[in-house]
Amino acid sequence: MGRTGFLDRSPLTRDALEFAASRHDGQTRDGNGVPFVTHPMEVACLLHEAGYSDEVVAAGVLHDVLEETDAQGDDLKRRFGDEVARLVEAVSDDPSIEDYAQRKSALRDQVERSGDCAAAVFAADKVSKARELGERRGRFSRHDKLRIDHYEASLEMLERALPGRGLVDRLRAEMDALHSLP
């Protein structure tokens, strides 16, 4: 069974992937142009490999639908249940905060208050994004530098929220790799 073979045993996550794929249809990732849904799928794989429940893995697949699509929290509650919706909402930005640094600071505080499972989804997201950023081989824009600052602050928060967890170690390794780029 391949890396995504767990979907055969995880109907909630499979349904979440179908939902995310339809909502993110036509979207691509900044910087590399691959279909957007590859990022949420990587987040789900990281969570599955770390041993999280189907609800947490499904939330990983869905973690960007509130920010990047027209999906609403009620859509998630009806289709995936209260816990999945709560986790996705916990890792979603507050769009009313315009300043990037303030919005990301508020998000980190929100995640830290939302419990281990929300922090795990957030950590898996940052592992994936830091790895993706590292693929640019140090060709960073001003906005990328703001992201790196956010990822550093996220790592500090996650070390408090999830001490000794593998996802936090993976994020630390990705951040170390980013800092070693020319």
In the chain, where the domains are located: 5-179
Q: Are 112 and 157 in contact (CB under 8 A)?
A: yes
User: Can you give the pLDDT at residue 1?
Assistant: 39
Nearest of 105, 161, 167 to residue 130 by alpha carbon: 167
Q: Cα–Cα distance between 53 and 48 in angstroms, integer?
A: 7
Q: What residues contact residue 161 under an 8 Å CB cut-off, 6+ apart?
A: 111, 112, 116, 119
Q: What is the mean pLDDT of each run of 10 residues along the chain (182 residues)?
A: 63 94 89 86 95 96 96 96 98 96 97 98 96 78 86 97 95 92 72
Instruction: Spell out the CATH class of 5-179.
Output: mainly alpha
